[in-house]
Amino acid sequence: MAISVTKSGPYFTSGAISFSAMRNTFRLNSPTGTISASELLRNTDVTNTDPILPDATENSDVATSTDWKTSQIRDSIKFYNVTQTDTNVNLDIDGLSWNSNLNKNIVKKMNIEGICGSNTTGTAAALMDDTAHNLTIDVSGDIFGCGALATTDGDNPDGLDGGDALDVITSGNNVSVNVQSTARIYGGGGGGEHGNDGANGQDGTCFNYIFGEVASGCGFCGDCSNLGAGYERYGGCNTGGGCNCSGWWFWYGCRQRVISTALCRKQDPVTVTGGTGGAGGDGGRGRGFNYQSGTLSGSTGAGGGSFVGCGGFTGTITAGGTGGDGETGGTGGDWGENGANTADTGDGGTAGKAIDRSTNVSVSGIINSNTVKGTY
């Protein structure tokens, strides 16, 4: 972390103080002619965007209405600048060395020249969330939001959201973001939606037998249909001794035979679930400070399970089907882009914003597809 502070001043640290010198130092927009003492009063109006002698901690000795003296101008300043270089994670802009000047009307600049990043989607790479007046955030370096992690929970298929690059949330006056041509302000990509599970295979039908018996008699076999629809005879009805016999002595004879009981059965169908559909693949990661290279593709879904068969049953009526393969997870979003949807019930994750700002904060400068990725 490399943060430096520069000031326009302190001025008049020693020696004589002339009105012309004060005019040339403080009234920069009109450095000619005379300047009055009333113009050199410390201006505390936070709606004034270009105070001649601004309100600042360093200028606290300067009178605001009466009893003004030239000696009060010693060690005064005109502008206040903070510059960031190197690399910072979750840069807290309002927590830097502003010497309590953020909420005063001194014209200030925050120069972001290095790299700001975030490894947490819930926290912007650079954040300003305090009251400030007359502040310009000048970006010539990189601000990279956090990319979403892979979507691994098939029960909650929505892709995860990416993180913001720069958040400027303030109720102050005259706050702006200036984008230089070398800037890269990129919101983190959203995560791809989890892939849908494959369809289960068609159910199969197995069976066991239900058995029954129907009495037979003299000369006839029992009818299995008497037990109900679907019954068939699989045995019995064997021929026994004579019956329907008549006559006497050596003229005695039997016209028919006794038939044994009919053995009956019918199929008792049982539905057996088809192969289970394969699990959907994980959604892809979003591009971000935490994932600057690597594939954004979602994972391939798992293969479907096979029909378990009719083992343990007597037989098969219809075989079940194999489950379908799980869907590949949605592709994660590149810088500032949403994650892709799949056929599951959710949506791809939303990209982080390049700049999330209060309505009173303006954005200007060189804004194109190279300098800003994501909404602003």
**Averaged pLDDT, groups of 10, the chain, 376 residues long:** 92 96 94 94 97 98 96 98 98 98 98 98 97 98 98 96 98 96 98 98 98 96 97 97 81 87 98 98 98 98 97 96 98 98 97 97 98 98
* Per-residue confidence (pLDDT) for residue 251, from 0 to 100: 67
Of the candidates 296, 295, 286, 282, the one whose C-alpha atom is nearest the C-alpha of residue 374 is 286
Q: Are 142 and 115 in contact (CB under 8 A)?
A: yes
3-state SS assignment for residue 212: strand
3-state SS assignment for residue 111: strand
How buried is residue 97: exposed, middle or buried, by Cβ count under 10 Å (0-12/13-18/19+)?
exposed
Q: Are 310 and 181 in contact (CB under 8 A)?
A: no
Tokens, residue 322? 């194999």
Angle at 29 between CA 18 and CA 34, to 5 degrees: 35
* Per-residue confidence (pLDDT) for residue 249, from 0 to 100: 63
Residue 254's Cβ-side half-sphere holds a number of Cα atoms within 13 Å equal to: 10
DSSP character at residue 26: H
User: At 24, which helix (H) or strand (E)?
Assistant: helix 19-26
> Which pTM does this prediction carry?
0.86
* Per-residue confidence (pLDDT) for residue 24, from 0 to 100: 96
Of the candidates 231, 232, 137, the one whose C-alpha atom is nearest the C-alpha of residue 185 is 137
3-state SS assignment for residue 100: coil
Cα–Cα distance between 210 and 266 in angstroms, integer? 5
* Per-residue confidence (pLDDT) for residue 349, from 0 to 100: 98
Tokens, residue 33? 């002619």
Residues written for the chain = 376
Tokens, residue 136? 């310009």
* Per-residue confidence (pLDDT) for residue 254, from 0 to 100: 87
Give me the residue spans of the domains in the chain.
2-194+347-373, 206-271
CA 182 to centroid of chain Cα atoms? 28
Of the candidates 222, 223, 260, the one whose C-alpha atom is nearest the C-alpha of residue 239 is 260
* Per-residue confidence (pLDDT) for residue 247, from 0 to 100: 76
Cα–Cα distance between 73 and 52 in angstroms, integer? 12
Cα–Cα distance between 100 and 112 in angstroms, integer? 20
